[in-house]
Each structure stands twice: as C-alpha cells, then as structure tokens.
Amino acid sequence: KKLKATIAFRKEFKADESRLSFYEENPNEDMVKFREDMEKQVEKGFMYVKGIDKKNRALLRLDLGRVQAPWDLTPYVQNHMYHYDRALACTERRTNGAEDKINAIVSFQDYGMKNQPPLANDRAVMTYFGLHWPERLDKAFFVNVPFIFRLFFKLIQ
C-alpha cells in the first residue's frame, strides 16, 4: 500500500522527469517545463547539496533567508524532492550503497516574514517526505535560529 502511494506521488510530481530533464538530449514538454521551473528555484540558491560528514553522508543545506516567492506548490515540492534525491544519490555513490541517509543543515540567517512560504507548502513537503522517504534523514541541524524558536524549544523540552 505504501509502495503504491509512493509510486503515485512520484508520478504526480514527475520525479523521474526531474532527474532526466538535465541529462536528456531530446527532453519532452514536461521535462522542458520542469527544467525551467527548477532553474528559477535553483537561482534563488536556498537549497543545495554540499559536503559530507565522517560517514560520507551528503549534507543538504537549506538557507531559509534566501527563499523567495512565488510560492506555487508544485515547483516548491519538486525543488525539495530534486535536492533530496540528489543528496541521497551522493550518499549512495560515495558509500557504494552502504549508507542510505543524509544530514540536513537548516539556516535561519536573514529569515523573516518576507521570505516565509505559506505553511501549507512546508506542511506538504514534510508530509511527503515523511511518507515517501521514511528514515532517510539521519540528523538535522538548525543554525541562526530566531529567539522565538529557541523559546519554543525550551518550553517543549
């Protein structure tokens, strides 16, 4: 049941086309559209794969202060999916398949109301990754966290 749901999700957000759109010599219409959307998202520079940890797991970096509108859900999810897949591929290649997890660094530097995506977008991303990439995140590190978040974390501990 979960596998069927994951296959449907990957079809809905065109996961295979996302990977192939950058390498295919004769991309179809969907690939061209995806590539254009991704180039717009990547230009913002808020998410990228850079570096490894001691166990050769890739580091996925999210600089939330660089997030910018538009907030269309599909490209937003596709961007996260593309980079998450890319980080997993880096880990698997670096470890010859021995590792299947990544680490994430989430930076809140320059984060504020002007670059805050709708809650529905972030909720969708978290739901999709929880359902379709379970247990692939080893650790998440939060840096430059605003005071209000630190206060909230202290209250729930």
Dump pLDDT digits (tens) for 20-58: 766 667 677 777 777 887 787 778 788 999 999 999 999
Gap between the terminal Cα atoms of the chain: 35
Top CATH class of 1-156 equals alpha beta
Structure tokens at 110: 């320059």
**CA–CA distance, 95 with 102 (Å, rounded to integer):** 12
> Please, what is the average pLDDT of the chain?
84
- 73 token code pair: 């859900």
Beta bridge partners of 105: 61, 141
| CA neighbor of 111 nearest in space, from 66, 150, 50, 44 | 66
pTM for this predicted structure:
0.80
